[in-house]
Each structure stands twice: as C-alpha cells, then as structure tokens.
Amino acid sequence: MTPKQTATPTPTPTPTPTQPAPPLTLAAKYSAYVTALATDYLGRTQSAQEKATFTNLLQTGTKRGVIAKAFATSDEYRIIRIKAAYTTILGRVAEPAGVSTWLAAMRAGQITTDGIEIALYASQEYFQLHGSTNSGFATSLYKSLLHRAGNSAEYDFWASYAAKKGRTWVVKQFWASAETTGIRVVPMYQKYLGRVPTAAELQQSIVDAPQVGDSGLRQSITAGNEYFLRSIARFGGR
C-alpha cells in the first residue's frame, strides 16, 4: 500500500511594507490651491505659467485673499458671470456688445455682478417676458428669486410698489432680503466647501452681503482655511 502524499504548503509571501507618501511641500499645497481657484472660478485648468505665477506670489507672502480676489475680479470670471446672468434671467445668450458694456462698467467700478443681475431683472425685456404687467413682474420675482409662489395679496403689494417706485426699487428689496440672500449663499458653500453653511455662517453671510456683495462672499469663502485644506485634498496629488 502506497502511503498518501501530503502536499507541501506554498509559503505565503511577506507583503512589502507600503511606504507612506512624502508630505506635500508648501509649494505643492499652494499649487493645489491655485488649481482649485481656477477650476471653481474659471472652469478650466491653468497653464503652467499661470499656475507658477500665482504659486510664487503665495510663496513670497501674498495673502490668499488677494489671490482669491484676483480670480473673482478677473475679466474672464466677470464675463462668465455676465453671460450666466443673461441665460438665467433673460433666457438667452448675451450679445457681445452687452457683455462689453457691462464689463467696461465693472472695470470702472461703476457696477458689480449683483448690480448687473438687478438691472436685468428690472429691465424692460424681463418685464415683457413676464406679461408686461406689474402683477406678472411681481409674480415672476417670487419664482425667480425666492423659488416659491407668493399669494395674491403679496403680488398686489409689490405690483403697486413697482408702479409707484419702479421695478429697480422692487428688485432691490427682493435681492437684499434674508430669504433671497440665503438662497444665493447655500450653493456657494456647496460648490466651494462641499457642504451647506451652518446656521451661524448663513446668518453672517446675510449680514455681510449688503456690504460686500456676492463677489465678496465668494472671495471670503475661497480665501478661508477650510477651502485651502479642501483644495489640497482635491488637487494635492496632481
């Protein structure tokens, strides 16, 4: 009788220890931050020269707030915002002459993106798109700016003020309200920080918005430490 052969067990290879990735240099962190700004403001990647310029500025002591402002007030980003306003408010593509006129006014410090949006909501074109009546105009502002319906008494109230004080005055009241400001602020936090604002953050934004505008709120968020750390997590490996 032949004895049963016992298979020799195959030795288990010893895993090679994984070496931790070296910590990012400060230059790499700044580069990730600049990449995040270009992505979030301009919707594109930067050239090597653009990235190097901003990264070097940060390395030599320029504050993040200055860099964030440079993106927020750049012609490229302003044009993006102007074109988006036409699409959202008037439902059409902005004509080149209109973009140029608004951009020139922004460069001269005569108007902000908030002011452009207010002007488009108060425009004759917008008025005609919503029935050419003050009642239709008031009704549309509830849908467009508050994302909800009002009631007939509210529509009549604002329609009467549109007749007495003008459409621009009415739009400004809607724009500056806590409800409308909150509706604009929440997407900013979601885009830049990947979360909704806390109650305290939302309240502070409502307080700050009349002084700094939407552009100032964006700059404040993207200059902050939370955005900086998130940019490293998003783009630090590139």
Answer yes or no: are the C-beta atoms of 113 and 81 closer than 8 Å.
Answer: yes
Whether 192 and 231 share a structural domain: no
Please state, as a whole number, how many other Cβ atoms lie within 10 Å of the Cβ of residue 75: 10
First to last CA, the chain: 67
* Surface-to-core class of residue 48, CB atoms within 10 Å of its CB (0-12 exposed, 13-18 middle, 19+ buried): exposed
pLDDT at 5 over 60: no
Look up residue 30 and give its two tokens: 């700044």
Residues 6+ apart with CB under 8 A from 79: 99, 103
Grade residue 213 by pLDDT with cuts at 50, 70 and 90.
very high
Looking up residue 111, the CATH number of its domain turns out to be 1.10.3130.20
- Give the pLDDT confidence of 113-146 residue by residue, as tens digits: 999 999 999 999 999 999 999 999 999 999 999 9
Whether 148 and 216 share a structural domain: yes
Domain count for the chain: 2
Distance CA 70, CA 54 (A): 10
Residue range of the domain that includes 32: 26-73+227-235
Residue 99 belongs to some domain of the structure = yes
Whether 211 and 190 share a structural domain: yes
Whether 87 and 42 share a structural domain: no
Whether 80 and 62 share a structural domain: no
Answer yes or no: are the C-beta atoms of 92 and 86 closer than 8 Å.
Answer: yes
Residue 206 belongs to some domain of the structure = yes
DSSP H helices in 86-198: 96-107, 113-121, 124-129, 134-141, 152-165, 167-176, 178-193
Residue 127 belongs to some domain of the structure = yes
Whether 123 and 134 share a structural domain: yes
Residue 38 belongs to some domain of the structure = yes
Whether 66 and 104 share a structural domain: no
Whether 196 and 231 share a structural domain: no
Q: What is the pTM of this model?
A: 0.87
Whether 153 and 183 share a structural domain: yes
| Residue in 65, 74, 71 with CA at minimum distance from that of residue 106 | 74
% pLDDT > 90, the chain: 89
Residue 5 belongs to some domain of the structure = no
C-alpha R_g of the chain? 26
pLDDT for 24 equals 85
Whether 142 and 222 share a structural domain: yes
